Structure 1
């Protein structure tokens, strides 16, 4: 029996082999450049290589440019793996995850974002995650965001102190049509400074000596040019503590922004301070 050779098929397969080799060569060149960047920055053992603002900018550009038949989530997954892996090469880090009620969705959420090689640890109690991030500058924490009434971990970030972590990113950054992570949302915290991506949300806590309505908080924000809104108000320390008002603002607001000083001035004697908890890049829908 004579087997006819499909020369066209062989040619196409040879082209795929050639492209695979080319992709690998480009990948190795990219990794080498990242190594050179790490050497130039002289990263020490107590810093984070996690750059969520830049990562968000890169991923937005990639998804805007790609025009193949591949779904956005596949393209995003490829780049997320690459970004996470080369970041870990620059400076190894680990991720500590809060999963209330042992929900596997939070683990999947973090794994998709931080890649298959990043060390991760699961906790049911957010306090354990906060403790690990406070104690170790190379640990990132993933914590549920406004999903349950008792999720008040953000109040700890408003207390201040030398090693207080900042909010750095939001998960999921890209919604997946194949699995919606049980409608879960989380924020990533770490001992680093947030950076703008070009489309961001800043999280802030306004601290007052007595109870103030959310409507008044929102009105004062508008008067000083901050388009924020109050999500929650509570007195964490019981009847004798100060009031904390959780605010989100649809822009990147830095610690020294003059509008924060204006906010204190128009709020009157009831105002104590405004604390920037961090910022995150707006997720891609």
Structure 2
């Protein structure tokens, strides 16, 4: 039997083999550099290597630059897997997920973002996730968002302080055209300081002694030079205590921003404090 070979096909396959070897070599060099970074950061006191602001900047740049026929979700998945794996190599961490319903969907949402090798646990109640993040600085928490009637967990972060978890990221960071994560928006919290990505949303709590209308709160924000609006107002559990007002601002606002001092002065005697809950990079649509 005479075997007929397709020299062009053989050449293309050989080129793929060559590129695979090149990709592996580049990947190994990248991992080696990450090892050097981990050694340099060994004594910086930060329990997490999770850098959501930088990660968002990298992904935006990659998705803007790539021109292949691969869907954005595939390219993002490749880089998310790589970013998560090397971050875990620097400082191992785990993820606790709240899934009041649609458990598989919330799990898949977190797995897509944090990669296949990151240890994860699933809990029904957000209070359990909050407790794990409070107790272990190497734990990140994923909590449901945009379901206003159930989103009371943010009130637990309103006390502020050095050891209180901060909001660090929003999931999903990239819309999935398949609708796999539809209506499963979540926020990531952890024992770290949020960082800007260039396009961010900051969440803040204003504590007041008495009830204040949302219109008044929005007006005070404008007077202080802050963009944003009041998204929710609640009394603590039991109906007694100070009012807590959740403010969403479409910019990165640090806890040392002088406009927060101005806001307190403008708000008058009923104002108690402003607490930055954290910030997240605006997801890619």
Give the shorter-chain TM-score range. over 0.9
| Cα distance, 1:126 vs structure 2 | 0.3
Q: Once superposed, what is the RMSD of the aligned Cα atoms? A: 1.2
Q: 115-124 or 151-160, which moves further after superposition?
A: 151-160
- Post-superposition Cα deviations, 1:103-135, rounded to whole Å, max 9, x if no partner, equal 211111100000000000000000000000000
Q: Map of 1:212-251 to 2, 5 A cutoff? A: 212-251=212-251
Aligned length: 285
Instruction: Give the superposition deviation at 1:284.
Output: 0.2
Following TM superposition, by how much is the alpha carbon of 1:43 offset from its aligned partner in structure 2, in angstroms? 4.7
Q: Determine whether 1:209 maps to 2:209.
A: yes
| Structure 2 CA distance for partners of 1:240 and 1:167, relative to 1, 3 Å | same
Q: Does 1:91 align with 2:91?
A: yes
What TM-score comes out, normalization by structure 2 length?
0.97
Does structure 2 conserve the Cα–Cα contact (< 8 Å) formed by 1:53 and 1:281? Answer: yes
1:73-222 equivalences in 2 (<5 Å): 73-101=73-101, 103-222=103-222
Structure 1 unaligned residues grouped into runs of 5+: none
Displacement of 1:224 after TM fit? 1.0
CA distance in 2 between partners of 1:211 and 1:144 (Å): 26
Structure 2 residues not aligned, in runs of 5+: none
CA deviation after TM superposition for structure 1 residue 183, in Å: 1.5
Kindly indicate whether the alpha-carbon contact (under 8 Å) linking 1:31 and 1:86 is maintained by their aligned counterparts in 2: yes
Paired with 2:121 and 2:183, the residues of 1 have a C-alpha distance of: 21
1:276 partnered with 2:267: no
Rounded Cα–Cα distance in structure 2 between residues aligned with 1:47 and 1:59: 23
Q: Distance in 1 between matches of 2:46 and 2:260?
A: 30
Deviation at 1:240, TM superposition (A): 2.6
Q: Secondary structure of 2:182's match?
A: helix
Contact 2:81 2:116 in 1 (8 A): yes
Q: Distance in 1 between matches of 2:93 and 2:43?
A: 13
Offset of residue 225 of structure 1? 1.0
Deviations 1:24-72 (A, max 9, x none): 0000000000000010111578610000000000000000000000000
Following TM superposition, the consecutive aligned residue runs of length 4 or more in structure 1 with deviations greater than 2 angstroms are 43-46, 237-240
Q: TM-score of the superposition, structure 1-length normalised?
A: 0.97
